[in-house]
Structure formats: structure tokens, C-alpha cells
Structure 1
Amino acid sequence: MIVKNTNRGWEIVTQTAHAFLAAQIADKLSENFKNEYWLETLLAVYNHETLETDFNSGSVLNNKGMPLDFRESKETETQTLKKIQTMVHTIIYRSSIVNALIVRHLKFLHPNIFKSNKANYGDIIDDVCTRFNIGKTLFEKMYGVLQFTDRLSLIICFDELPETNRKIEINDSLSENSVFVTNLNNKFIIEPWPFESNKISVYKECRVMKSASFNSENAFLKEYHNMKIETITYEFLEG
């Protein structure tokens, strides 16, 4: 889960909600980024957090009883490898192309594990590209959509959008050019603009936890499920 300490309490965004936000962003992209395998690409964006759903992966509290952001996880390489293996085996029954795209994303996130051949799933990508006649360039373009939307969604979920008159880079996964988001008088501008319409709006769902800490994961989950879901909308404009 994604955790932010606010003056109202702990803002919690699940990995599933983050993935859905990424899918919202992907759905609004220009037709130039969509091809005959667009459905598979969109499903890969939505399913790229397969194992992180509903608090079923790892601890939810740190040693002080506070909600644990996934970036604070202290997983060992063995635990990470086991998680990768479980994810790959879980999604293989959904779609070969979806599986290959998520394997590509796991390779990006955990390069050392893949380089050591402890998680050698390169044959999955090669097999899918061969069976569906997907060239390397096209496959990387499809993955670029996942990487871009994942990153912009995380920026939103981490509450890292730039302050007024500042800009930050999203990434360059959609093309050779980096995409930036700028805050101009509290209006978020994206350049170069990758979306079909000249203005888009997306939303994230979260819960705000009032307790400062919890004496058990069950106590955390009880309060979490009793809190109302909040919806926060974000609007982006063409530069």
C-alpha cells in the first residue's frame, strides 16, 4: 500500500487503487499509442500489481505499529524472488500478452534478480512475441504505456505533483522525448501532451486513518474497512 502522513491522519492508497488510476490514465492516451493489442496492454496496466491486492503481500505495519508504505519494505532477495514467481504463475492464466508485459515490468523493477538468472522469464516474452508476431519495437511501445502510466499514477498517489511554477519529469517511456508535468498557477500542464483530448481528469481513491498507530494488523484492518472511501480528482491540461 501507499502511505502518506497528512494533517488529517494516514492517507492510504492500495496498490489496486494505484493500478486502476494508471488504467484511467492509459485509457485517455492518444490513439497513436494504441494498437491491435490495446486491450491486453490496458489489462496489463490494471493487473501489474496482481499480488499487492487487499493487503495479501507482506506486513501492513512497521515495528512502531504505523502503516507501512511499500517503499519501506525490507524484503530479502529470496522473498522478492518468491513474490515474482508467484505473480508470474498467477497471471499466466489470464493472457499470454498480459503476462509478458508484466514480466517485462518486473524485469525493470528488479534488474539484479533477473540478471542473476534467479528469475529468468525471458523465454515468456520471446515466446509471446513469436506466437503473436509482435516485433521488439512494438512490444516495447506497449510496455512504454505501462511504464508511463504507472509512473504518473505513482506521482499522484505519492502526492508528488510539483508546486506552483515548478515542473518534474514523468519519464521518457512513450517516446524518445521526456514528458514533464508543470504546475502553472495551480494548473497541471503536461508536455509533450500524450492524450487524445486537450484536457483530462482522473481520480484516486483512498482512506484516511485517524489512529496514529495500531497494536495489531487486525486493529489496522478493522479501522481501515470502517473508514469511508474518499475520491480525489486531478485535472491535467495540454501545454
Structure 2
Amino acid sequence: MIVNYTPTGWQIIYQQAHALLAAQLLHQWPAFLPPERWVGLLAAAAQHDDGQRRWDGRYALTPAGAPADFTTKEFSLEQATELMRQARFQGRWRSLLTSMHLAFLYTDIQDQHPGLAPFLAEQQQCRQRWRRELKVAKAEAQQAYALLQWCDRLSLILCRHELPEMERALEVSQGPDGRRYDVARRAADQAVKVTPWPFAAAEFSVSVEASRLSQLQFRDDEELSQALRQAPVEVLQWQLRAPAG
């Protein structure tokens, strides 16, 4: 979950919903892959946070009983393995992109978690085999994944309300073309601008659903889950507009 504190409680965005927002952003880029691989890239973006662990006990809560933001949760080899298992059913291209995402997230922490280093080593071998079988150059795969990672990052910036005030710019990440991209909120109309503008359309909107909770603490995961099932849902929407000139 992405957990934002509000004056009246919590705003909860499921990670799968954030991933769908990333796919909306990716959909606005001019396609640079064959159609079947472009669709596969969209699928990988939309599903890159699948395989979440079941809420059992206090997995979804902080020690104080508050909803736990995903950044506070420890790495789960079970989730990573399940994500790759699900990707397999959509083919080698989706599996390749998903495996690249796991390597991006976890390579730097592999010495901190038992079983992670062997898992990543196995994934590296799988990626080499998939690229060979698909006749995909490593640079081509990296360009595709760079776009997925870029859209993932921008989606997180929006979902976590990280846009600075007073039109100050925040770096998104390096795009698939190797360029740096910055994002800011326009003071005049609150539209989101990305510089340089990478999208096909000069203006478009994206959205994500969020649940609103007024209860601050919960006994266990089941109580939180029940509250979320009954919580009102709001649609967060952003208008993205190309910089003037």
C-alpha cells in the first residue's frame, strides 16, 4: 500500500492501482517497439506490483497499529517469486521486463537477505536465455525497461504527493532516450508539466483510485481490511500539460 497521512486520517492507494497509473503514463509515450512488444511492455508496467503477500497477522500494520506504507515493509522473496511465476504465464517478454525490475530493486540489498542472491543469479541466467530466444538485444531490452522504470517513478511521485510547491522541479529519472526528465506543478492551473515533454499528446489526464480512512489505528490486518472494504473511494486525477513554448 501507499499510505498518505491526511488531516482526517489516511489515504490508501493500493500498489496495483499505482502500477495501473504507471501504465496510463506509459500509454502516452510514442511507441518505439513492435506492437506486440509494446503491449507486453504496457502489461509489465500495469502488473509490476502484483504478487503481494496476503495480509495475515500484522503484515499490513506498523508496530503502532497504523496502515503500513510499502516503504516500511521488508523485502519478501515470496512476493518476488510469485511475481515471476505470474509473469511466466504471459510469456518471455513480460518475464524479461519483470525480472529486470526485480534486479533494479534488489541487487543492492542482496547481501542483506538470505536466498536473495541465488534468486537474482538465477534471474540473470533467465534473462540471458529469454533475450537469446526472443532475439532481443540487451540494449533494446534496457531501453524498454528504462521506460517502465520512468513511468513507475512518476506514478509514485504523483501517488505520494511529492510534487514540490512554487513550481520547483523534481527529477523523475533518466528516460529510455538517456535524457533527464523533471516534473513540476504549474502554479497558474495546477497542471503537471514534464520537461522535456516526452508524450505524444500535448495534454492528457491520468487518475488513480484511493480509499479514505478516518480510523487511525487497527488491531490487526483483518480490521484494516474490513475498514478498507467499507471505505469511501475517491478518484485522484492529474492533468498533464506540455510546457509553454
**TM-score in same-fold range (> 0.5):** yes
Which residue does 1:149 correspond to in 2? 151
Amino acid at match of 2:183: V
Consecutive unaligned residues of structure 1, counting only runs of 5 or more, are: none
Distance 1:208 1:89 in 2: 32
Find the residue that maps to 1:65 and give its secondary structure: coil
Measure, in 1, the Cα distance between the counterparts of 2:207 and 2:158.
9
User: 1:57: how far off?
Assistant: 11
* C-alpha deviation, 1:55, in angstroms: 5.0
| Alignment of 1:211 onto 2:215 | yes
Question: Are the structure 2 counterparts of residues 159 and 66 from structure 1 closer, same or farther at C-alpha, using a change threshold of 3 Å?
Answer: same
For the residue of structure 2 that corresponds to 1:145, the secondary structure is helix
Call closer, same or farther: CA 1:167–1:202 in 2, change over 3 Å. Answer: same
TM-score (normalised: structure 1): 0.91
Check conservation: 1:155, 1:161, Cα contact below 8 A. Answer: yes
Asked if structure 2 preserves the Cα contact closer than 8 Å seen for 1:84 and 1:119, the reply is: no
Distance 1:87 1:56 in 2: 19
Give identity over the alignment, percent: 25
> d(CA) in 1 for partners of 2:41 and 2:148?
7
Distance 1:8 1:71 in 2: 22
| 1:189 positional shift | 1.3
Deviates more, 1:113-122 or 1:59-68: 113-122
* Cα distance in 2, alignment partners of residues 132 and 187 from structure 1: 40
Task: Please state if 1:124 is matched with 2:123.
Answer: no
Instruction: Report matched runs for 1:1-239 at 5 Å.
Output: 1-31=1-31, 33-36=32-35, 37-52=37-52, 55=55, 59-75=59-75, 80-112=76-108, 113=110, 116-120=117-121, 121-185=123-187, 186-239=190-243
Contact 1:9–1:210 (8 Å) recurs in 2: yes
Aligned length: 234
Gap regions ≥5 residues in structure 2: none
CA distance in 1, matches of 2:57, 2:50: 10
For residues 151 and 88 of structure 2, what CA distance do their matches in structure 1 show? 22
The secondary structure found in structure 2 opposite 1:119 is helix
Shift of 1:81: 3.0
Query: Which stretch of structure 1 is more off in the superposition, 115-124 or 190-199?
Result: 115-124
Q: 1:54 to 1:30 in 2, by over 3 A?
A: farther
In 1, Cα distance between equivalents of 2:106 and 2:119: 11
SS at match of 1:128: helix
Answer yes or no: is the 8 Å Cα contact 1:162–1:181 preserved in 2: no
How far residue 167 of structure 1 moved from its aligned partner, in angstroms, is 0.7
SS at match of 1:11: strand
Change in Cα spacing, 1:52 to 1:196, as seen in structure 2 (3 Å) is: same
Q: How far 1:8 sits from its partner (Å)? A: 2.5
Deviations 1:60-84 (A, max 9, x none): 1111110000101144xxxx33332
Distance in 2, matches of 1:56 and 1:100, equals: 30
Cα pair 1:19 1:49 within 8 Å, conserved: yes
Cα shift at 1:46: 0.9
Partner deviation per Cα, 1:186-214 (whole Å, 9 max, x = no partner): 33211111111001210011001110111
Q: Report SS of the residue matched to 2:192.
A: strand
The one-letter code of the counterpart of 2:224 is: F
Q: Please provide the CA RMSD for this pair.
A: 2.1
Residue deviations 1:105-130, cap 9 Å, x none?
Answer: 00000013299444221122112211
